């Protein structure tokens, strides 16, 4: 797993956890319950405090993160994109980006989440691609990060969707608030190349105008690093054919078969791989593999376990 930029064993210091539980997938709650949640967010607009201020003591609170979510939800429905700086100042963005960089840059690439309590759950989230309201949807469905609710986000937060920046900032806020409960992994879109080609750079420049380049570069600073090896790994996909072969469809990375999944699981003594990186469009030209109608597919079932692909943006264009 690649955390935006680095993460290795992040041991919990304040809790005596004993055993890990199975990860859970974000499923769809009832439409009625989500509409009620959505109404609660939107209806708060008259009481919203804008612009969002950075706490004087530099310490984020749950109320601050919830206020940020409410402001972004309201702004996404009522303001033009160019008005975002009116509710989220560049100075506040700088503080949030700086705090995250300090957290993330201290970590190594491989994350180990262990010593979970028996009552703990691990929520694994796939691609978001700037679908802000899908992010609100899944947080409402699974519940906010908490002492016994861990979140692992599989990357690809930005590009293609209209609210990549807001989605990314909300995740950064949760990371600062609960660094040992929220894990932000790096996807192939967390790179200068992808963000300059698939829309995130243009989005940021549009929203922040003359300060856009500054904001964009700060975002890159949260995940930038050598791209050759992780880029090749993160562009690779599973295949129903055994062995390794060129990933011709993408033009980068490899395709790996069930035998490779079995070797990896067996050698690492694992039972399950949960990866992302493929949405409905990517699966249209992949015979033998399932679509993304349910938000995830089981791609390989081998002796040692399974390989699952998870995609968490149902409003993906």
Structural domains of the chain in order of their starting residue, each with its CATH number: 48-109+119-224 (3.60.21.10), 231-310 (no CATH)
**CB of 262 closer than 8 Å to CB of 302:** yes
SS3 at position 298: strand
Please name the residue ranges forming H helices in 130-208.
132-142, 164-177, 192-197, 200-208
For residue 45, what are its two tokens?
Answer: 């607009």
189 is catalytic: yes
| pLDDT of 45 | 47
Of the residues 39, 105, 140, 189, only one is catalytic, namely 189
| pLDDT of 232 | 78
pLDDT surpassing 60 at residue 147: yes
pLDDT surpassing 80 at residue 253: yes
Model confidence over 56-86: pLDDT tens digits? 999 999 999 999 999 999 999 999 999 999 9
Name the average pLDDT for the chain.
86
| pLDDT of 227 | 64
| pLDDT of 27 | 42
Query: What's the number of CA atoms in the CB half-sphere (13 Å) around residue 198?
Result: 18
State the Cα–Cα distance between residues 78 and 74, nearest whole angstrom.
Answer: 6
Burial of 20 (0-12, 13-18, 19+ CB in 10 A): middle
Bridge partners for 311 per DSSP: 127
Burial of 126 (0-12, 13-18, 19+ CB in 10 A): buried
SS3 at position 18: coil
| pLDDT of 317 | 72
**CB of 6 closer than 8 Å to CB of 105:** yes
Percent of the chain with pLDDT over 70: 84
State the Cα–Cα distance between residues 237 and 127, nearest whole angstrom.
Answer: 14
Specify the DSSP class assigned to residue 127.
B
């Amino acid at each position: 797993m690649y955390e935006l930029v680095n993460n290795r064993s992040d041991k919990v210091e304040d809790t005596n956890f004993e055993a890990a539980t199975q990860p859970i997938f974000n499923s769809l709650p009832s439409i009625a319950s989500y509409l009620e949640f959505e109404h609660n967010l939107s209806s708060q607009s008259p009481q919203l405090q804008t612009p969002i201020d950075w706490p004087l003591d530099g310490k984020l609170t749950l109320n601050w993160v919830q206020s940020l979510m409410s402001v972004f939800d309201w702004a996404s429905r009522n303001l033009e994109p160019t008005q975002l700086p009116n509710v989220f100042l560049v100075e506040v963005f700088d503080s949030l980006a700086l705090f995250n960089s300090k957290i993330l840059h201290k970590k190594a690439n491989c994350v180990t989440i262990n010593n979970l309590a028996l009552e703990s759950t691990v929520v694994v989230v796939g691609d978001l691609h700037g679908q802000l309201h899908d992010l609100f949807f899944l947080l409402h469905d699974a519940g906010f990060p908490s002492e016994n609710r861990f979140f692992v986000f599989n990357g690809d937060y930005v590009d293609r969707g209209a609210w990549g920046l807001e989605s990314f900032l909300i995740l950064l806020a949760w990371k600062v608030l609960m660094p040992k409960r929220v894990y932000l992994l790096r996807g192939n879109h967390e790179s200068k190349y992808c963000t300059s080609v698939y829309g995130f750079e243009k989005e940021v420049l549009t929203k922040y105008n003359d300060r856009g380049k500054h904001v964009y570069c700060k975002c890159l600073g949260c995940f930038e690093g050598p791209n050759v090896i992780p880029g090749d790994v993160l562009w690779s996909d599973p295949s129903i054919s055994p062995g390794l072969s060129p990933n011709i469809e993408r033009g980068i990375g490899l395709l790996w078969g069930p035998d490779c999944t079995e070797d990896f699981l067996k050698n690492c003594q694992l039972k399950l791989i949960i990866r992302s990186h493929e949405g409905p469009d990517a699966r249209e030209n992949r015979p033998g593999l399932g679509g993304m109608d349910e938000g995830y597919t089981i791609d390989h079932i081998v002796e040692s376990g399974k390989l699952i692909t998870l995609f968490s943006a149902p409003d993906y264009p």
